[in-house]
């Protein structure tokens, strides 16, 4: 599936997710909402996360009210095996199929800091989860239309459908890890 990447969006500046920054400054705030977490578990991932409580494709919070993968210091304890919705964050597709940075990320401490770098570098691993290494190289070489695997496109679209199943009151104040 071919998607467009917004160069303007990719030039927004963010502090990279480095251990020191997470543990001392942001505490992994992007993985936590004010009312509840909304980490999407795609249908294709449910078996992998069968030891967690999942209701309507959303991972349920632990006894702290936080993502069960989140340590007290803000780091993710499943960093190498995150759900796709987490790995693809902070990026999302617009309804016209353009990859952008979610608006909510500009409200976080990591946005436009003194040491900030373009988001395509700061969140390279997330971008790679969506467009792959060859797509990343194509983007770096000036290509704005990238072919992504159909299953990745489907996860991005499906995750949006799951989120749309929630009503506005359920989403109010939530920093969600779903698309659009």
Name the more confident of 174 and 111: 111
Kindly report the pTM of this predicted structure. 0.85
Phi/psi of residue 167, each to 5°? -85, 170
3-class state of residue 11 by DSSP: coil
**Which helix (H) or strand (E) segment is 85 a member of?**
helix 84-88
Answer for the pair 150, 132: CB distance below 8 angstroms, yes or no.
Answer: no
Residues 6+ apart with CB under 8 A from 98: 3, 4, 5, 6
**Would the pLDDT of 178 be above 50?**
no
pLDDT digits (tens, 9 = 90+) for 51-86: 988 988 888 888 888 888 988 888 988 877 899 989
Taking 50 as the threshold, does the pLDDT of residue 172 lie above it?
no
Q: Is the pLDDT of residue 4 over 70?
A: yes
Domain ranges for the chain, please list them.
2-171
């Amino acid at each position: 599936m071919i998607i467009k990447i917004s160069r303007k969006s990719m030039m927004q500046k963010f502090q990279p997710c480095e251990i020191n920054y997470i543990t001392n400054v942001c505490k992994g705030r992007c993985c936590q909402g004010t009312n509840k977490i909304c980490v999407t578990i795609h249908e294709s991932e449910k078996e992998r996360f069968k030891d967690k409580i999942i209701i309507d494709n959303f991972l349920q919070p632990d006894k702290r009210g936080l993502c069960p993968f989140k340590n007290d210091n803000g780091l993710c304890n499943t960093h190498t095996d995150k759900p796709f919705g987490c790995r693809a964050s902070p990026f999302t597709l617009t309804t016209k199929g353009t990859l952008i940075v979610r608006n909510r990320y500009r409200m976080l401490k990591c946005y436009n800091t003194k040491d900030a770098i373009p988001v395509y570098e700061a969140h390279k691993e997330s971008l790679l989860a969506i467009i792959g290494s060859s797509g990343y190289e194509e983007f770096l070489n000036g290509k704005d239309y990238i072919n992504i695997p159909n299953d990745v496109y489907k996860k991005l679209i499906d995750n949006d459908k799951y989120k749309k199943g929630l009503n506005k009151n359920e989403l109010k104040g939530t920093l969600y890890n779903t698309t659009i």
